[in-house]
Chains A and B, each alone.
Chain A
Amino acid sequence: MIQVRELTKYYGEHAAVRNLNFDIERGEVIGFLGLNGAGKTTTLKILGCILLPTAGRVTVDGLEVTEKPHEVRRKIGFLPDQPPLYNEMTVGAYLTFAARLRGVPARDTAARVDEAEEKTALRPMHGELISSLSHGYRQRVGLAQAMVHRPALLILDEPTSGLDPVQIVEMRALIRRLRGDHTLLISSHFLAEISQTCDRLLVIQAGEIVAQGSEADLASAMGTLGEAELELRCAADRALEVARAVPGVVSAAITRDEAGIVALTVRSQADMRAELARAAVHAGLDLLRIDRGASRLESIFIQLAKSRDPGSNDAPPGGLS
Protein backbone atom coordinates (compact mmCIF):
# COMPACT_ATOMS: atom_id res chain seq x y z
CA MET A 1 0.00 0.00 0.00
CA ILE A 2 2.83 2.38 0.86
CA GLN A 3 6.16 2.46 -0.94
CA VAL A 4 8.92 4.73 0.26
CA ARG A 5 12.05 4.96 -1.86
CA GLU A 6 15.17 6.98 -1.08
CA LEU A 7 13.12 9.48 0.95
CA THR A 8 15.20 12.44 2.10
CA LYS A 9 14.13 15.61 3.89
CA TYR A 10 16.41 18.49 4.77
CA TYR A 11 15.58 21.34 7.15
CA GLY A 12 18.18 23.86 5.99
CA GLU A 13 21.50 22.04 6.26
CA HIS A 14 20.15 19.40 8.62
CA ALA A 15 18.96 16.10 7.17
CA ALA A 16 15.91 15.05 9.20
CA VAL A 17 15.56 11.81 7.19
CA ARG A 18 18.02 10.29 4.74
CA ASN A 19 17.43 7.71 2.02
CA LEU A 20 14.56 5.93 3.76
CA ASN A 21 13.26 2.79 2.07
CA PHE A 22 10.36 0.69 3.29
CA ASP A 23 7.08 -0.89 2.19
CA ILE A 24 3.83 -1.33 4.06
CA GLU A 25 1.20 -3.84 2.96
CA ARG A 26 -2.55 -3.26 3.22
CA GLY A 27 -3.94 -4.21 6.64
CA GLU A 28 -0.59 -4.23 8.44
CA VAL A 29 -0.11 -2.58 11.82
CA ILE A 30 3.31 -0.97 11.73
CA GLY A 31 5.19 0.48 14.67
CA PHE A 32 7.49 3.35 13.86
CA LEU A 33 10.07 3.37 16.60
CA GLY A 34 12.75 5.93 17.30
CA LEU A 35 14.15 8.36 19.83
CA ASN A 36 13.03 11.99 19.92
CA GLY A 37 14.44 13.78 16.87
CA ALA A 38 15.04 10.53 14.99
CA GLY A 39 12.87 11.65 12.06
CA LYS A 40 9.60 9.82 12.83
CA THR A 41 7.30 12.84 12.73
CA THR A 42 8.93 14.24 9.59
CA THR A 43 8.41 10.92 7.79
CA LEU A 44 4.79 10.72 8.93
CA LYS A 45 4.12 14.30 7.85
CA ILE A 46 5.48 13.52 4.39
CA LEU A 47 3.25 10.44 4.20
CA GLY A 48 0.32 12.62 5.26
CA CYS A 49 1.14 15.20 2.52
CA ILE A 50 1.73 17.90 5.13
CA LEU A 51 5.39 18.29 4.22
CA LEU A 52 7.05 17.85 0.85
CA PRO A 53 10.15 15.68 0.59
CA THR A 54 13.49 17.11 -0.53
CA ALA A 55 14.16 13.99 -2.59
CA GLY A 56 12.82 10.49 -3.06
CA ARG A 57 9.49 8.95 -3.95
CA VAL A 58 6.55 8.11 -1.71
CA THR A 59 3.46 6.38 -3.11
CA VAL A 60 0.21 5.51 -1.35
CA ASP A 61 -1.97 3.06 -3.29
CA GLY A 62 0.10 3.86 -6.36
CA LEU A 63 -0.42 7.62 -5.99
CA GLU A 64 2.68 9.79 -5.64
CA VAL A 65 2.31 12.19 -2.70
CA THR A 66 3.88 15.14 -4.52
CA GLU A 67 1.85 14.64 -7.71
CA LYS A 68 -1.57 13.72 -6.31
CA PRO A 69 -1.62 15.10 -2.75
CA HIS A 70 -5.41 15.57 -2.73
CA GLU A 71 -6.15 12.00 -3.72
CA VAL A 72 -3.63 10.72 -1.19
CA ARG A 73 -5.11 12.85 1.62
CA ARG A 74 -8.54 11.31 0.98
CA LYS A 75 -7.02 7.91 1.75
CA ILE A 76 -5.25 9.01 4.91
CA GLY A 77 -6.31 9.89 8.42
CA PHE A 78 -3.68 11.74 10.42
CA LEU A 79 -3.48 12.18 14.18
CA PRO A 80 -0.54 14.42 15.12
CA ASP A 81 1.10 14.24 18.54
CA GLN A 82 -1.10 17.16 19.63
CA PRO A 83 -4.67 16.55 18.42
CA PRO A 84 -5.81 19.47 16.23
CA LEU A 85 -8.94 20.49 18.13
CA TYR A 86 -11.04 23.65 18.09
CA ASN A 87 -11.90 24.23 21.74
CA GLU A 88 -14.97 26.34 21.08
CA MET A 89 -16.70 23.57 19.09
CA THR A 90 -18.72 20.64 20.38
CA VAL A 91 -17.45 17.13 19.65
CA GLY A 92 -20.27 16.50 17.17
CA ALA A 93 -19.82 19.79 15.32
CA TYR A 94 -16.07 19.28 15.14
CA LEU A 95 -16.35 15.76 13.73
CA THR A 96 -18.98 16.94 11.24
CA PHE A 97 -16.60 19.70 10.13
CA ALA A 98 -13.71 17.22 9.79
CA ALA A 99 -15.87 14.78 7.80
CA ARG A 100 -17.08 17.46 5.38
CA LEU A 101 -13.54 18.77 5.00
CA ARG A 102 -12.41 15.25 3.99
CA GLY A 103 -15.07 15.08 1.30
CA VAL A 104 -17.76 12.99 3.06
CA PRO A 105 -21.08 13.85 1.32
CA ALA A 106 -23.61 15.79 3.43
CA ARG A 107 -26.13 12.93 3.38
CA ASP A 108 -23.56 10.49 4.87
CA THR A 109 -21.96 12.83 7.39
CA ALA A 110 -24.23 12.13 10.37
CA ALA A 111 -23.79 8.36 9.95
CA ARG A 112 -20.00 8.67 9.67
CA VAL A 113 -19.83 10.89 12.75
CA ASP A 114 -21.95 8.35 14.66
CA GLU A 115 -19.69 5.54 13.50
CA ALA A 116 -16.51 7.38 14.56
CA GLU A 117 -18.05 8.27 17.94
CA GLU A 118 -19.14 4.67 18.42
CA LYS A 119 -15.68 3.28 17.70
CA THR A 120 -13.96 5.75 19.99
CA ALA A 121 -16.62 5.55 22.73
CA LEU A 122 -17.39 9.26 22.36
CA ARG A 123 -21.16 8.99 21.94
CA PRO A 124 -21.92 10.44 25.43
CA MET A 125 -19.67 13.42 24.65
CA HIS A 126 -21.38 14.34 21.35
CA GLY A 127 -22.78 17.65 22.60
CA GLU A 128 -19.90 18.56 24.92
CA LEU A 129 -17.58 21.46 24.24
CA ILE A 130 -14.08 20.22 23.38
CA SER A 131 -12.60 22.71 25.85
CA SER A 132 -14.37 20.87 28.69
CA LEU A 133 -12.94 17.42 27.85
CA SER A 134 -10.17 15.60 29.72
CA HIS A 135 -6.88 14.86 27.98
CA GLY A 136 -7.93 11.27 27.31
CA TYR A 137 -11.17 12.30 25.64
CA ARG A 138 -9.38 14.97 23.62
CA GLN A 139 -7.04 12.28 22.30
CA ARG A 140 -10.06 10.17 21.36
CA VAL A 141 -11.64 13.09 19.52
CA GLY A 142 -8.33 13.47 17.66
CA LEU A 143 -8.49 9.80 16.70
CA ALA A 144 -12.15 10.10 15.69
CA GLN A 145 -11.39 13.01 13.33
CA ALA A 146 -8.65 10.95 11.72
CA MET A 147 -10.99 8.03 10.97
CA VAL A 148 -14.30 9.81 10.33
CA HIS A 149 -13.90 9.59 6.53
CA ARG A 150 -12.98 5.86 6.69
CA PRO A 151 -9.42 6.25 5.41
CA ALA A 152 -7.51 3.20 4.22
CA LEU A 153 -4.43 4.35 6.14
CA LEU A 154 -4.39 5.74 9.66
CA ILE A 155 -1.24 7.55 10.75
CA LEU A 156 -1.01 8.00 14.52
CA ASP A 157 1.88 10.08 15.85
CA GLU A 158 2.44 9.34 19.55
CA PRO A 159 -1.22 8.44 20.20
CA THR A 160 -0.70 7.88 23.93
CA SER A 161 1.40 10.97 24.52
CA GLY A 162 0.51 12.64 27.83
CA LEU A 163 -2.11 10.05 28.84
CA ASP A 164 -2.28 8.53 32.30
CA PRO A 165 -1.85 4.73 32.69
CA VAL A 166 -5.59 3.99 32.57
CA GLN A 167 -6.03 6.17 29.49
CA ILE A 168 -3.04 4.48 27.85
CA VAL A 169 -4.65 1.06 28.31
CA GLU A 170 -7.94 2.37 26.90
CA MET A 171 -6.24 3.98 23.91
CA ARG A 172 -4.26 0.81 23.22
CA ALA A 173 -7.48 -1.24 23.27
CA LEU A 174 -9.05 1.31 20.96
CA ILE A 175 -6.18 1.04 18.49
CA ARG A 176 -6.37 -2.77 18.59
CA ARG A 177 -10.08 -2.54 17.67
CA LEU A 178 -9.13 -0.62 14.52
CA ARG A 179 -7.17 -3.58 13.20
CA GLY A 180 -8.65 -4.93 10.01
CA ASP A 181 -10.51 -1.73 9.18
CA HIS A 182 -7.40 0.28 8.40
CA THR A 183 -3.70 -0.05 7.71
CA LEU A 184 -2.12 1.48 10.80
CA LEU A 185 1.16 3.30 11.11
CA ILE A 186 1.87 4.15 14.74
CA SER A 187 4.81 6.22 15.81
CA SER A 188 6.04 6.05 19.36
CA HIS A 189 9.04 5.97 21.60
CA PHE A 190 6.93 4.13 24.17
CA LEU A 191 8.17 0.59 23.62
CA ALA A 192 5.44 -1.36 25.42
CA GLU A 193 2.82 0.33 23.26
CA ILE A 194 4.56 -0.68 20.04
CA SER A 195 5.27 -4.17 21.35
CA GLN A 196 1.63 -4.80 22.20
CA THR A 197 -0.08 -3.31 19.18
CA CYS A 198 2.09 -3.77 16.10
CA ASP A 199 2.79 -6.62 13.66
CA ARG A 200 6.00 -5.17 12.36
CA LEU A 201 8.49 -2.53 13.47
CA LEU A 202 10.46 0.10 11.62
CA VAL A 203 13.30 1.41 13.75
CA ILE A 204 14.52 4.85 12.74
CA GLN A 205 17.66 6.40 14.10
CA ALA A 206 19.17 9.75 13.10
CA GLY A 207 16.98 9.89 10.00
CA GLU A 208 17.75 6.39 8.76
CA ILE A 209 15.95 3.04 9.04
CA VAL A 210 18.35 0.89 11.04
CA ALA A 211 16.16 -2.20 11.41
CA GLN A 212 12.80 -3.51 10.33
CA GLY A 213 10.85 -6.69 10.93
CA SER A 214 8.73 -8.30 13.60
CA GLU A 215 9.81 -8.06 17.22
CA ALA A 216 10.95 -11.68 17.04
CA ASP A 217 12.97 -10.98 13.86
CA LEU A 218 14.73 -8.09 15.54
CA ALA A 219 15.30 -10.02 18.74
CA SER A 220 16.75 -12.92 16.78
CA ALA A 221 19.07 -10.63 14.85
CA MET A 222 20.18 -8.94 18.06
CA GLY A 223 20.63 -12.21 19.92
CA THR A 224 18.02 -11.29 22.52
CA LEU A 225 15.29 -13.68 21.41
CA GLY A 226 15.54 -15.89 24.48
CA GLU A 227 16.05 -13.30 27.15
CA ALA A 228 14.37 -14.35 30.39
CA GLU A 229 14.29 -12.95 33.89
CA LEU A 230 14.26 -15.27 36.93
CA GLU A 231 13.91 -14.69 40.64
CA LEU A 232 15.21 -17.51 42.86
CA ARG A 233 15.65 -18.06 46.61
CA CYS A 234 19.23 -19.36 46.76
CA ALA A 235 22.86 -18.25 46.66
CA ALA A 236 23.95 -16.23 43.63
CA ASP A 237 26.71 -18.69 42.64
CA ARG A 238 24.29 -21.62 42.77
CA ALA A 239 21.71 -19.77 40.63
CA LEU A 240 24.33 -18.98 37.99
CA GLU A 241 25.62 -22.56 38.04
CA VAL A 242 22.14 -24.01 37.46
CA ALA A 243 21.22 -21.51 34.74
CA ARG A 244 24.47 -21.91 32.80
CA ALA A 245 24.14 -25.68 32.89
CA VAL A 246 20.95 -25.56 30.79
CA PRO A 247 21.85 -26.43 27.18
CA GLY A 248 21.32 -23.45 24.83
CA VAL A 249 21.95 -20.72 27.41
CA VAL A 250 24.36 -18.13 26.02
CA SER A 251 24.89 -16.08 29.15
CA ALA A 252 23.52 -15.51 32.63
CA ALA A 253 24.07 -12.51 34.90
CA ILE A 254 22.91 -11.54 38.39
CA THR A 255 20.94 -8.30 38.37
CA ARG A 256 20.01 -8.22 42.08
CA ASP A 257 21.03 -10.13 45.20
CA GLU A 258 19.15 -9.13 48.35
CA ALA A 259 18.08 -11.04 51.46
CA GLY A 260 18.73 -14.45 49.95
CA ILE A 261 16.75 -13.69 46.82
CA VAL A 262 18.63 -13.34 43.55
CA ALA A 263 17.36 -12.00 40.25
CA LEU A 264 19.16 -12.98 37.10
CA THR A 265 18.86 -12.37 33.39
CA VAL A 266 19.49 -15.31 31.12
CA ARG A 267 20.10 -14.91 27.39
CA SER A 268 19.74 -17.67 24.82
CA GLN A 269 19.03 -18.12 21.11
CA ALA A 270 15.46 -19.29 21.75
CA ASP A 271 12.74 -18.92 24.36
CA MET A 272 13.96 -21.26 27.14
CA ARG A 273 11.71 -20.32 30.04
CA ALA A 274 10.31 -23.86 30.34
CA GLU A 275 13.77 -25.46 30.44
CA LEU A 276 15.02 -22.92 32.97
CA ALA A 277 11.99 -23.48 35.22
CA ARG A 278 12.46 -27.27 35.10
CA ALA A 279 16.20 -26.95 35.83
CA ALA A 280 15.57 -24.71 38.85
CA VAL A 281 12.96 -27.04 40.30
CA HIS A 282 15.10 -30.11 39.56
CA ALA A 283 18.03 -28.50 41.40
CA GLY A 284 15.78 -27.88 44.42
CA LEU A 285 15.81 -24.09 44.13
CA ASP A 286 12.75 -22.00 45.05
CA LEU A 287 11.58 -20.40 41.80
CA LEU A 288 9.74 -17.20 42.75
CA ARG A 289 9.28 -15.65 39.30
CA ILE A 290 10.13 -16.25 35.66
CA ASP A 291 9.11 -14.24 32.64
CA ARG A 292 10.21 -13.39 29.16
CA GLY A 293 11.38 -10.01 30.25
CA ALA A 294 9.23 -7.06 29.42
CA SER A 295 12.33 -5.28 28.32
CA ARG A 296 12.99 -7.41 25.26
CA LEU A 297 12.07 -4.65 22.83
CA GLU A 298 13.75 -2.15 25.10
CA SER A 299 17.01 -4.07 24.99
CA ILE A 300 16.76 -4.34 21.20
CA PHE A 301 16.15 -0.65 20.95
CA ILE A 302 18.95 0.27 23.32
CA GLN A 303 21.38 -1.94 21.39
CA LEU A 304 20.31 -0.37 18.11
CA ALA A 305 20.62 3.12 19.56
CA LYS A 306 24.08 2.32 20.93
CA SER A 307 25.19 0.81 17.65
CA ARG A 308 24.35 4.07 15.83
CA ASP A 309 25.88 6.31 18.48
CA PRO A 310 29.28 7.51 17.20
CA GLY A 311 30.53 7.62 20.77
CA SER A 312 29.61 4.00 21.42
CA ASN A 313 32.25 1.29 21.34
CA ASP A 314 29.69 -1.42 20.55
CA ALA A 315 29.92 -3.06 17.19
CA PRO A 316 27.03 -2.37 14.81
CA PRO A 317 24.43 -5.13 14.65
CA GLY A 318 24.66 -7.45 11.72
CA GLY A 319 21.96 -9.25 9.82
CA LEU A 320 19.25 -6.64 10.19
CA SER A 321 17.40 -5.64 7.06
Chain B
Amino acid sequence: MSATWLIARRELAAYLRSMTGYVIAAAVLTVDGILFNAFALGGPDKRSADVLSLFFYFSSGTTMIASIFLSMRLIAEEKQTGTLVLLTSSPVQDREIVLGKFLSGLAFLSIITLLTAFMPALIMVNGKIAFGHLAAGYLGLLLLGSATLAIGTFGSALARTQVLAAIVSGCLLVAMIVCWMLARVTDRPFSDLFVALALYQKHFPPFQAGVVHLRDVVYYVAVTYFALFAATRVVEARRWR
Protein backbone atom coordinates (compact mmCIF):
# COMPACT_ATOMS: atom_id res chain seq x y z
CA MET B 1 0.00 0.00 0.00
CA SER B 2 1.47 3.37 -0.97
CA ALA B 3 2.07 6.09 1.56
CA THR B 4 -0.48 8.28 -0.25
CA TRP B 5 -3.21 5.70 0.24
CA LEU B 6 -2.18 5.08 3.88
CA ILE B 7 -2.37 8.78 4.68
CA ALA B 8 -5.64 9.23 2.76
CA ARG B 9 -7.25 6.32 4.60
CA ARG B 10 -6.17 7.61 8.01
CA GLU B 11 -7.38 11.12 7.23
CA LEU B 12 -10.74 9.89 5.96
CA ALA B 13 -11.15 7.86 9.15
CA ALA B 14 -10.32 11.03 11.12
CA TYR B 15 -13.15 12.90 9.32
CA LEU B 16 -15.55 10.06 10.10
CA ARG B 17 -14.49 9.85 13.76
CA SER B 18 -14.60 13.57 14.45
CA MET B 19 -17.62 15.79 15.05
CA THR B 20 -16.27 18.36 12.59
CA GLY B 21 -16.86 16.12 9.58
CA TYR B 22 -20.46 15.45 10.56
CA VAL B 23 -21.15 19.09 11.40
CA ILE B 24 -19.86 20.20 7.98
CA ALA B 25 -21.90 17.49 6.22
CA ALA B 26 -25.04 18.38 8.17
CA ALA B 27 -24.58 22.12 7.51
CA VAL B 28 -24.08 21.57 3.75
CA LEU B 29 -27.14 19.34 3.46
CA THR B 30 -29.30 21.68 5.55
CA VAL B 31 -28.34 24.86 3.70
CA ASP B 32 -28.53 23.13 0.32
CA GLY B 33 -31.95 21.69 1.20
CA ILE B 34 -33.32 25.06 2.33
CA LEU B 35 -32.05 26.86 -0.79
CA PHE B 36 -33.39 24.09 -3.03
CA ASN B 37 -36.80 24.15 -1.40
CA ALA B 38 -37.11 27.93 -1.22
CA PHE B 39 -35.63 29.06 -4.52
CA ALA B 40 -35.44 26.07 -6.88
CA LEU B 41 -38.74 24.34 -6.12
CA GLY B 42 -40.52 27.48 -4.89
CA GLY B 43 -41.64 30.50 -6.89
CA PRO B 44 -43.29 30.43 -10.33
CA ASP B 45 -43.57 27.17 -12.25
CA LYS B 46 -40.34 26.08 -13.92
CA ARG B 47 -39.20 23.34 -16.23
CA SER B 48 -37.51 20.39 -14.52
CA ALA B 49 -34.22 21.17 -16.29
CA ASP B 50 -34.32 24.73 -14.87
CA VAL B 51 -34.97 23.41 -11.36
CA LEU B 52 -32.04 21.02 -11.72
CA SER B 53 -29.86 23.83 -13.02
CA LEU B 54 -30.77 25.96 -9.98
CA PHE B 55 -30.00 23.00 -7.71
CA PHE B 56 -26.46 22.79 -9.16
CA TYR B 57 -26.12 26.58 -8.87
CA PHE B 58 -26.87 26.53 -5.12
CA SER B 59 -24.89 23.36 -4.57
CA SER B 60 -21.79 24.91 -6.15
CA GLY B 61 -21.81 27.56 -3.40
CA THR B 62 -22.19 25.10 -0.55
CA THR B 63 -19.55 22.83 -2.13
CA MET B 64 -16.98 25.64 -2.26
CA ILE B 65 -17.66 26.66 1.33
CA ALA B 66 -17.56 23.04 2.53
CA SER B 67 -14.23 22.54 0.73
CA ILE B 68 -12.67 25.43 2.61
CA PHE B 69 -13.83 24.07 5.98
CA LEU B 70 -12.84 20.50 5.14
CA SER B 71 -9.37 21.48 3.95
CA MET B 72 -8.47 23.95 6.70
CA ARG B 73 -7.43 21.16 9.08
CA LEU B 74 -5.49 19.03 6.60
CA ILE B 75 -1.97 20.37 7.23
CA ALA B 76 -2.50 23.29 9.63
CA GLU B 77 -3.90 21.00 12.33
CA GLU B 78 -0.85 18.73 12.09
CA LYS B 79 1.41 21.77 12.50
CA GLN B 80 -0.68 22.98 15.44
CA THR B 81 -0.61 19.63 17.26
CA GLY B 82 2.94 18.67 16.29
CA THR B 83 1.93 15.46 14.49
CA LEU B 84 3.39 16.55 11.14
CA VAL B 85 6.76 15.33 12.39
CA LEU B 86 5.47 11.74 12.28
CA LEU B 87 5.03 12.12 8.53
CA THR B 88 8.12 14.22 7.83
CA SER B 89 10.39 11.84 9.77
CA SER B 90 9.05 8.83 7.83
CA PRO B 91 10.28 7.68 4.42
CA VAL B 92 7.45 9.48 2.67
CA GLN B 93 7.69 12.10 -0.09
CA ASP B 94 6.19 15.49 0.68
CA ARG B 95 3.98 15.18 -2.40
CA GLU B 96 2.61 11.90 -1.01
CA ILE B 97 1.69 13.68 2.23
CA VAL B 98 -0.12 16.49 0.38
CA LEU B 99 -1.82 14.16 -2.11
CA GLY B 100 -2.94 11.73 0.60
CA LYS B 101 -4.51 14.52 2.61
CA PHE B 102 -6.15 16.06 -0.44
CA LEU B 103 -7.63 12.71 -1.53
CA SER B 104 -9.14 12.14 1.91
CA GLY B 105 -10.82 15.56 1.73
CA LEU B 106 -12.03 14.85 -1.80
CA ALA B 107 -13.44 11.48 -0.74
CA PHE B 108 -15.35 13.07 2.14
CA LEU B 109 -16.58 15.91 -0.08
CA SER B 110 -17.73 13.34 -2.64
CA ILE B 111 -19.73 11.54 0.04
CA ILE B 112 -21.42 14.80 1.04
CA THR B 113 -22.09 15.67 -2.61
CA LEU B 114 -23.61 12.26 -3.32
CA LEU B 115 -25.86 12.64 -0.28
CA THR B 116 -27.52 15.61 -2.03
CA ALA B 117 -28.83 13.20 -4.70
CA PHE B 118 -32.19 13.04 -2.96
CA MET B 119 -32.94 16.56 -4.25
CA PRO B 120 -32.68 15.68 -7.98
CA ALA B 121 -34.68 12.56 -7.08
CA LEU B 122 -37.44 14.83 -5.77
CA ILE B 123 -37.53 16.62 -9.14
CA MET B 124 -38.04 13.26 -10.82
CA VAL B 125 -41.18 12.64 -8.74
CA ASN B 126 -43.12 15.29 -10.66
CA GLY B 127 -40.95 15.86 -13.70
CA LYS B 128 -38.33 14.52 -16.04
CA ILE B 129 -34.63 15.17 -16.05
CA ALA B 130 -31.95 13.95 -18.41
CA PHE B 131 -29.36 11.59 -16.94
CA GLY B 132 -26.69 13.43 -18.93
CA HIS B 133 -27.66 16.73 -17.29
CA LEU B 134 -27.46 15.10 -13.87
CA ALA B 135 -24.09 13.48 -14.56
CA ALA B 136 -22.64 16.69 -16.03
CA GLY B 137 -23.83 18.72 -13.03
CA TYR B 138 -22.34 16.33 -10.50
CA LEU B 139 -19.09 16.12 -12.50
CA GLY B 140 -18.95 19.91 -12.39
CA LEU B 141 -19.57 19.93 -8.61
CA LEU B 142 -16.78 17.39 -8.03
CA LEU B 143 -14.35 19.27 -10.28
CA LEU B 144 -15.20 22.60 -8.64
CA GLY B 145 -14.91 20.94 -5.21
CA SER B 146 -11.58 19.40 -6.17
CA ALA B 147 -10.15 22.76 -7.27
CA THR B 148 -11.45 24.53 -4.16
CA LEU B 149 -10.19 21.76 -1.90
CA ALA B 150 -6.74 21.99 -3.50
CA ILE B 151 -6.73 25.77 -2.93
CA GLY B 152 -7.74 25.06 0.68
CA THR B 153 -4.93 22.53 1.03
CA PHE B 154 -2.51 25.19 -0.16
CA GLY B 155 -3.93 27.64 2.39
CA SER B 156 -3.66 24.98 5.09
CA ALA B 157 0.01 24.40 4.20
CA LEU B 158 0.68 28.14 4.43
CA ALA B 159 -1.08 28.85 7.73
CA ARG B 160 -0.09 27.90 11.26
CA THR B 161 -3.61 27.46 12.56
CA GLN B 162 -6.83 26.10 11.15
CA VAL B 163 -8.66 29.42 11.50
CA LEU B 164 -5.91 31.24 9.65
CA ALA B 165 -5.94 28.51 7.01
CA ALA B 166 -9.67 29.04 6.44
CA ILE B 167 -9.16 32.82 6.16
CA VAL B 168 -6.23 32.49 3.72
CA SER B 169 -8.07 29.91 1.60
CA GLY B 170 -11.26 31.98 1.66
CA CYS B 171 -9.38 35.05 0.42
CA LEU B 172 -7.71 33.06 -2.39
CA LEU B 173 -11.06 31.59 -3.38
CA VAL B 174 -12.82 34.95 -3.46
CA ALA B 175 -9.93 36.42 -5.49
CA MET B 176 -10.31 33.63 -8.05
CA ILE B 177 -14.08 34.00 -8.19
CA VAL B 178 -14.05 37.77 -8.73
CA CYS B 179 -11.47 37.52 -11.49
CA TRP B 180 -14.27 37.80 -14.04
CA MET B 181 -15.28 41.18 -12.57
CA LEU B 182 -11.76 42.45 -13.22
CA ALA B 183 -12.16 41.31 -16.81
CA ARG B 184 -14.97 43.85 -17.22
CA VAL B 185 -12.80 46.79 -16.23
CA THR B 186 -9.59 45.80 -18.02
CA ASP B 187 -8.61 45.72 -21.69
CA ARG B 188 -7.39 42.77 -23.70
CA PRO B 189 -5.24 40.73 -23.24
CA PHE B 190 -5.69 41.13 -19.47
CA SER B 191 -9.45 40.82 -19.69
CA ASP B 192 -9.02 37.47 -21.51
CA LEU B 193 -6.59 36.33 -18.84
CA PHE B 194 -8.97 37.24 -16.00
CA VAL B 195 -11.88 35.53 -17.74
CA ALA B 196 -9.80 32.40 -18.23
CA LEU B 197 -8.72 32.40 -14.58
CA ALA B 198 -12.20 32.97 -13.12
CA LEU B 199 -12.99 29.93 -10.99
CA TYR B 200 -16.75 30.04 -11.31
CA GLN B 201 -18.32 32.39 -13.85
CA LYS B 202 -16.56 31.15 -16.95
CA HIS B 203 -16.23 27.44 -16.22
CA PHE B 204 -19.06 26.20 -14.01
CA PRO B 205 -22.28 27.40 -15.76
CA PRO B 206 -21.88 24.93 -18.67
CA PHE B 207 -21.85 22.01 -16.18
CA GLN B 208 -24.87 23.55 -14.49
CA ALA B 209 -26.70 23.52 -17.81
CA GLY B 210 -25.69 19.91 -18.48
CA VAL B 211 -22.88 20.64 -20.95
CA VAL B 212 -19.35 19.31 -20.50
CA HIS B 213 -16.58 21.21 -22.29
CA LEU B 214 -13.13 19.68 -22.27
CA ARG B 215 -11.61 23.14 -21.64
CA ASP B 216 -13.58 23.47 -18.38
CA VAL B 217 -12.50 20.01 -17.21
CA VAL B 218 -8.88 20.83 -18.07
CA TYR B 219 -9.18 24.15 -16.24
CA TYR B 220 -10.38 22.60 -12.97
CA VAL B 221 -7.82 19.77 -13.17
CA ALA B 222 -5.09 22.35 -13.83
CA VAL B 223 -6.14 24.52 -10.87
CA THR B 224 -6.15 21.40 -8.67
CA TYR B 225 -2.70 20.39 -9.91
CA PHE B 226 -1.10 23.80 -9.45
CA ALA B 227 -2.61 24.34 -6.00
CA LEU B 228 -1.38 20.92 -4.84
CA PHE B 229 2.01 21.55 -6.42
CA ALA B 230 2.25 24.85 -4.52
CA ALA B 231 1.15 23.13 -1.28
CA THR B 232 3.87 20.51 -1.75
CA ARG B 233 6.48 23.22 -2.23
CA VAL B 234 5.32 24.94 0.98
CA VAL B 235 5.62 21.67 2.93
CA GLU B 236 9.07 21.07 1.42
CA ALA B 237 10.13 24.60 2.35
CA ARG B 238 9.60 23.76 6.04
CA ARG B 239 12.73 21.62 5.85
CA TRP B 240 14.77 24.62 4.78
CA ARG B 241 13.68 26.95 7.58
Q: Name the interface size band of chain A.
A: 20 to 34
Do A52 and B240 touch (CB < 8 A)? yes
B234 interface residue per 8 A CB criterion: no
Q: Is the CB of B240 within 8 A of A101?
A: no
Q: Is A57 an interface residue (CB 8 A)?
A: no
Check A101/B239 contact, CB under 8 A, given A84-B85, A106-B1. Answer: no
A154 and B83 alpha carbons, distance in the complex (Å): 18
CB pair A101 B86 closer than 8 Å = yes
Contact assessment for A48 and B89 in the assembled complex, using a CB-CB cutoff below 8 Å = yes
Closest to B96 in A: A101
Bound Cα distance A89, B81 (Å): 14
- Please measure, in the bound complex, the distance between the C-alpha atom of A70 and the C-alpha atom of B91, giving whole angstroms: 5
- Chain B 114-148, CB-CB to A under 8 Å as 1, else 0, gives 00000000000000000000000000000000000
Whether the pair B18, A88 counts as a contact (CB closer than 8 A) is yes
Residue from B1, B90, B239 in contact with A102 in the complex, judged by beta carbons closer than 8 Å: B90
Q: Does B188 contact A (CB under 8 A)?
A: no
From the candidates B6, B14, B86, name the one contacting A84 in the complex (CB within 8 A).
B86
Q: Is A78 an interface residue (CB 8 A)?
A: yes
Given A73-B90, A86-B14, A101-B90, do A51 and B239 touch, yes or no (CB 8 Å)? yes
Report the bound CA distance from A69 to B1 in whole Å. 20
Known: A51-B241, A52-B240, A101-B6. A73 touches B14 (CB 8 A): no
A82 interface residue (CB < 8 Å to B) = yes
Q: Does A189 contact B (CB under 8 A)?
A: no
Instruction: Tell me if A80 counts as interface (CB < 8 A to partner B).
Output: yes
Find the B residue at minimum CB distance from A87: B81
Identify which of B6, B13, B83 contacts A100 (C-beta below 8 A). Answer: B6
| Number of residue pairs A-B, CB distance < 8 angstroms | 60
Question: Contact check: which of A48, A50, A88 meets B17 at CB < 8 Å?
Answer: A88
Chain A stretch 62-80: residues in CB contact (< 8 A) with chain B: 69-71, 73-74, 76, 78, 80
B5's nearest neighbour on chain A, judged by CB, is A100
Q: A101 to B87, Cβ gap below 8 A?
A: yes
Asked if A100 and B1 sit within 8 Å, CB to CB, the answer is: yes
**Cβ of B89: which chain A residues have Cβ within 8 Å of it?**
48-50, 73, 76, 78
Query: B88 on the interface (CB 8 Å rule)?
Result: yes
* Interface assignment of A205: CB less than 8 Å from any CB of chain B: no
Which residues of B are found within 8 Å of A101, using beta-carbon distances?
A: 3, 6-7, 86-87, 90-92
Within 8 A of A (CB), among B216-241: 239-241
Are B84 and A73 touching (Cβ within 8 A)? no
Q: How far is the CB of A310 from chain B (nearest CB, A)?
A: 27
**Distance in Å from the Cβ of A109 to the closest Cβ of chain B?**
10
- Bound state CA distance, A283 and B119, in angstroms? 100
Query: B46 contacts the other chain (Cβ, under 8 Å)?
Result: no
A103 to B82, CA, bound (A): 22
In the complex the two chains form, what is the Cα distance from A107 to B241 in whole Å?
38
Contacts of A88 in B (CB 8 A): 14, 17-18
> Are A73 and B86 closer than 8 Å at their CB atoms?
no
Q: A11-B241, A78-B89, A80-B82 known; 4 other A-B pairs, CB under 8 Å?
A: A52-B240, A73-B91, A76-B89, A101-B92
Q: Show the binding face of A for B, using Cβ within 8 Å.
A: 11, 48-52, 69-71, 73-74, 76, 78, 80, 82, 84-86, 88-89, 97-98, 100-103, 106, 145
| A–B pairs, 20, beta carbons within 8 Å | A11-B241, A52-B239, A69-B91, A82-B82, A84-B81, A85-B83, A86-B14, A86-B83, A89-B10, A97-B6, A97-B10, A101-B3, A101-B7, A101-B86, A101-B87, A101-B91, A102-B90, A102-B91, A103-B91, A106-B1
